[in-house]
Structure 1
Amino acid sequence: MTLLAAAVCPHPPLLVPQVAGEDPIDVREHALSAVRRLCALEPDRIVLVGDDGADTAYDGTSTGSLAGFGVDLSFPLAPPAEAAGGSGAGSRPTAAVPGAGRRLPLSLTIGAWLLRQVGWPGHREARGVPATTTPAAAAALGAGLVAAAEADGARLALLIMGDASARRTVKAPGSLDPRAAAHDASVAAALAAVDVDALLALDPSLSRDLLAPGRASWQVLAGAVRRATPAEPARSWTSRVRYDDAPFGVGYLVVGWEPVGGR
């Protein structure tokens, strides 16, 4: 099968220890474990998908920065051996080179950090999807990623970066919205069941109201899996939910999808 697996992870900057400081962040190790598993399947390429201000494709010349969160760190999308100024140490951030490629949004910056933390040396690309992306367009993008891998004869893995609602509690960044818990529960249930129809049914307007930036990225995943296994995806894939909680009032989900029976 062309699509080997997918991992769904949140993208709070607090995943990065230099941002979080000494505060314990339980979701960090779960996210790293999911990405380690993704890399262990030895894909030819990993495509990161995450929330962005525009529909944008990124290559290895792109770099993400956490300067806006009080730390002078940047993470090239390229593997350490290829990144300009890279030291080859997969766990260490690398300074951005002036004049290099596009700047990654936060979602893809954290995805690039995860890949560097686990030391994966392989090829990676990234796609930014804005909140205005329709479910149909997101699904088409996912299908296109699989089709491109099929055309290249490449084994593909997806790293889907997306937070659930930031309105789960009164102290959440967006304050409490009573609809947020049910929304996030429906997303978690769909991811647990590999229910691509339920993911594609997520309402973009509601997701925007609830400050849930993962909606379009989850729908890209749904489109990819539907393309890879058009007949009964739920029976063709298995799901592992590693984390489902809302620390700081923001819903974080870490989930892995793999085909039943492996590669």
Structure 2
Amino acid sequence: MLVAAAVCPCPPLLVPEVAAGAAAELEPLRAACDEAVGAVLAAGPELIVVVGTGPEAEVWTEGGAGSFHRYGVPLVAALPGGRAEGPELAPSLTVGAWLLGRAGVTLPTHACAVPADAPADRMLGLGQGLAGLAERVGLLVMGDGSACRSLKAPGYLDERAEGYDAALARALGAADTAALAALDPGLAAELKAEGRAPWQVLAGAAEGAGLTARLGYQDAPYGVGYLVASWS
């Protein structure tokens, strides 16, 4: 059963060593992520599952690790409670593993990568399955909002992006599983909102769990929507 979830964005710049001179700019975002992860731990889960996008569907149950070498930083982040072996974690999951390591998590931890274009019904079903992995499951859901909030954004400026992120913030801040389940994969792709599939995994996992939510952060510092929420 799902007892708590943290929703966090997954830009590599969240890691100070990667951000370098710009590290201070994202300190409020890091603090919000730390608080959200802390709320999951406070709920007393016996298993943590990290969910994020990846090039293909893949699951890590015996540990795993990812690196930030592609960004010129000799830093490795490993899932807690397992061996740092096997296929490398997808980038979104690597940031999630870094957040868990930063929080000192030692609980058994699984990770699940889902394609950004995965069908909504499949993600909802996956979430239900993840919630049934243990009596008390905590999720760390990694995903960015739209990447079209400004002229310099990765996806350039799209006038629909601000409204999309605002609606997403309302859903995440109200534990509105129906609104998350109804997110349109086509629109998400057009706005480069890569968190859509992971958020729908959350919607499936939280269905009927009676969780309440709090939105801890909402901004678009680099033209990309970053949102942090706690469900418990």
Q: TM-score, normalised by structure 1?
A: 0.84
Task: Tell me the SS of whatever aligns to 1:43.
Answer: coil
Asked if the contact 1:60/1:76 (under 8 Å) is kept, the reply is: no
Greater C-alpha radius of gyration = 1
Alignment of 1:200-219 (within 5 A): 200-219=181-200
Q: Aligned equivalents of 1:166 and 1:73: distance in 2?
A: 26
2:107 is matched with: 122
Is residue 2:32 matched to residue 1:46? no
CA-to-partner distance for each residue in 1:149-168, whole Å, 9 max, x for gaps? 2xxxx310011001001111
- TM-score, normalising length from structure 2? 0.95
Cα distance in structure 1, aligned partners of 2:44 and 2:211: 18
Q: Distance in 1 between matches of 2:198 and 2:219?
A: 19
Partner in structure 1 of residue 37 of structure 2: 35
Indicate the residue corresponding to 2:19 in structure 1: 20
Aligned residues: 229
1:171-220 CA-partner distances (Å, limit 9, x unpaired): 11111111111111111111112111111111101111111100000000
What is the match of residue 63 of structure 1? 65
Give the root-mean-square deviation of aligned CA atoms.
1.3
Report the CA distance between 1:83 and its aligned residue. Answer: 4.2
1:174 is the counterpart of 2:155: yes
Contact 1:61–1:102 (Cα < 8 Å) also in 2? no
In the alignment, which residue of structure 2 is the partner of 1:134? 119
Q: Which sections of structure 2, spanning at least 5 residues, go unmatched?
A: none
Question: Is 2:80–2:101's contact at 8 Å kept on the other side of the alignment?
Answer: no
Residue number in structure 1 paired with 2:129:
144
Tell me whether 1:249 sits opposite 2:230 in the alignment. no
Q: Secondary structure at the match of 1:249?
A: coil
Q: Partner of 1:233 in structure 2?
A: none
Distance 2:120 2:13 in 1: 29
Q: Is the 8 A contact 2:52 2:141 kept in 1?
A: yes
- Gaps (5+ residues) in structure 1? 85-99, 230-235, 259-263
Distance in 2 (alpha carbons) for counterparts of 1:180 and 1:256: 23
Distance 1:28 1:181 in 2: 22
- Alpha-carbon shift at residue 40 of structure 1 (Å): 2.1
**By how many angstroms is 1:70 displaced?**
1.5
CA distance in 1, matches of 2:179, 2:136: 26
Question: Does the Cα contact within 8 Å between 1:50 and 1:161 map onto a contact in 2?
Answer: yes
Q: 2 CA distance for matches of 1:209 and 1:124?
A: 32
The question of whether the paired residues in 1 share the 8 Å contact of 2:80 and 2:100 is answered with no
After superposition, give the CA deviation of every residue in 1:8-67 in whole Å (9 maximum; x if it has no partner).
Answer: 000011111101113211211110111112112221000000011111111343211111
In the TM superposition, structure 1's runs of 4+ consecutive aligned residues that sit over 4 Å from their partners are none
- Whichever residue aligns with residue 15 of structure 1, its letter is L
Q: For each residue in 1:121-159, what CA deviation from the matched residue of structure 2 results, as whole angstroms up to 9, or x when unmatched?
A: 11000110101211100000000112232xxxx310011
1:186 maps to what in 2? Answer: 167
Indicate which of 64, 72, 75 corresponds to 1:73.
75
Separation (CA, whole Å) in 1 of partners of 2:69 and 2:118: 28
More moved, 205-214 vs 36-45: 36-45
CA deviation after TM superposition for structure 1 residue 69, in Å? 1.2
Q: Please give the secondary structure, in 2, of the residue aligned with 1:125.
A: strand
What is the one-letter code of the residue matched to 1:62? G
